[in-house]
Amino acid sequence: MAGVTAALVKELREITGAGMLDCKKALVEAEASIERAIEILREKGLSKAAKKSDRIAAMGLVRTAFNEDATNAALVEINSETDFVAKNEDFVGFVENISEIVLANDVADVDALKEVKYSDENSVGEELTSKIATIGENLSIRRFAKFAEEGVVYTGYTHSNGLIAVIIGLKTEASAAEVEALGKDVAMQVASMNPKFLDRSFVDADYIDHEREILRNLVINEGKPENMVDRIVDGKIEKEISEVCLLSQKFVKNGDLTVGQYVEEVAKEIGKEIQVVSMIRYEVGEGIEKKEENFAEEVAAQMKR
């Protein structure tokens, strides 16, 4: 292993996208020659990841994971290039395993997650590189979240297509079984209505100011009398806040109730207080700019690879 330094391994990994251990083995076999090591990795199909790294991964899956008593929860999004791969059993299993790894470990970001052990052979990052090589598409661990607040029970909902997932945190002395149905109902509400805030106390002042300015200009442009503008705007702001805050939204399964009133009803039924204290919603690919190419441009791009 003479001449194979950590810096050399790092350089090879950056060039090829292969796993750290694979890079080290290739360099040993190549007697510390970067050029030969690249060839070795290509021969083994382990440098394919680098060639796919510029392709946008905007499809994929989201998954949730919970511990046995639902006091800990995790949510992950892992992206692929196509919907077809998102249905691949190997990819689905990988996403599910990553959600369990996030649940079991306290890591700060994706880079730290990639250093966590995935199996006896690979770290998460090395397994990701291996999956890219075998599946044949660029894959990306985009984001994750973990929850473990004392006194909170977590429930969730994942839409059947795996593209939207929600976790709800309920502060209560009730068991996970007692609030399971409620939690799923509230999570489904978040999945379908996508509220921006939990309740009014979470509404950012800058958001209100921004919306007020837009609505004020709208009302003025509608020709309303100047002395009525502020009152009309206040009414519109209140209506908008009720629509973007989860607890004040009309409950989808019963329009006679708000979500907050539904939670209160269930709390009375089971005889234990329940407070919705957190929510998070992941939708696959949201915010990712998807690359658009016509067929001729795509063929030309592929020929340049």
Q: Give the pLDDT confidence of 285-303 residue by residue, as tens digits.
A: 887 755 444 434 443 444 3
The CATH number given to whatever domain includes residue 91 is: 3.30.479.20
Q: Does one domain contain both 232 and 245?
A: yes
- pTM > 0.75: yes or no: no
Q: Give the pLDDT confidence of 77-114 residue by residue, as tens digits.
A: 999 988 888 888 999 999 999 999 999 999 999 999 99
The region of weakest confidence among 57-61, 92-96, 103-107, 160-164 is 57-61
| 3 closest CA partner among 21, 22, 29 | 29
Residue 56, pLDDT > 70, answer: no
Q: In this predicted structure, what is the pLDDT of residue 299?
A: 37
Whether 231 is covered by a domain: the verdict is: yes
Helix, strand or coil, per DSSP, at residue 124:
helix
Residue 74, pLDDT > 60, answer: yes
| 100 closest CA partner among 123, 76, 79, 120 | 76
Exposed, middle or buried: residue 149 (CB in 10 Å: 0-12, 13-18, 19+)? Answer: middle
Q: Give the pLDDT confidence of 178-188 residue by residue, as tens digits.
A: 999 999 999 99
Q: Does one domain contain both 67 and 140?
A: yes
Whether 251 is covered by a domain: the verdict is: yes
Look up residue 6 and give its two tokens. Answer: 């950590």
Specify which of 76-90, 193-207, 260-274 reaches the highest per-range mean pLDDT: 260-274
Q: In this predicted structure, what is the pLDDT of residue 57?
A: 63
Q: In this predicted structure, what is the pLDDT of residue 292?
A: 43
Specify which of 50-59, 177-186, 196-205 reaches the highest per-range mean pLDDT: 177-186
Q: Do 141 and 78 meet the contact criterion of CB atoms below 8 Å apart?
A: yes
Q: Does one domain contain both 75 and 126?
A: yes
d(CA 50, CA 14): 8
Overall average pLDDT of the 131-136 stretch: 88
Q: Does one domain contain both 105 and 128?
A: yes
Please give the tally of structural domains in the chain: 3
Could you list the residue range(s) of the whole structural domain that residue 262 is in?
Answer: 200-268
Q: Does one domain contain both 215 and 264?
A: yes
Q: Does one domain contain both 71 and 42?
A: no
Q: What is the mean pLDDT of the chain?
A: 87
Residue 49, pLDDT > 80, answer: no
Whether 236 is covered by a domain: the verdict is: yes
Q: Does one domain contain both 28 and 67?
A: no
Chain-centre distance of CA 144, in angstroms?
Answer: 5
Buried b / exposed e along 85-123 (16+ C-beta atoms within 10 A): bbebeebbebbbbbbebbbeeebeebeebbebebeeebb
Whether 291 is covered by a domain: the verdict is: no
Q: Does one domain contain both 88 and 142?
A: yes
Look up residue 67 and give its two tokens. Answer: 């511990």
The CATH number given to whatever domain includes residue 16 is: 1.10.8.10
Q: Does one domain contain both 80 and 132?
A: yes
d(CA 199, CA 184): 18
Q: Do 59 and 85 meet the contact criterion of CB atoms below 8 Å apart?
A: yes
Q: Which of 34, 52, 70 is the last residue of a domain?
A: 52
Q: Does one domain contain both 36 and 116?
A: no
Overall average pLDDT of the 211-217 stretch: 86
Specify which of 33-47, 113-127, 193-207 reaches the highest per-range mean pLDDT: 113-127
d(CA 102, CA 134): 23
Residue 32, pLDDT > 80, answer: yes
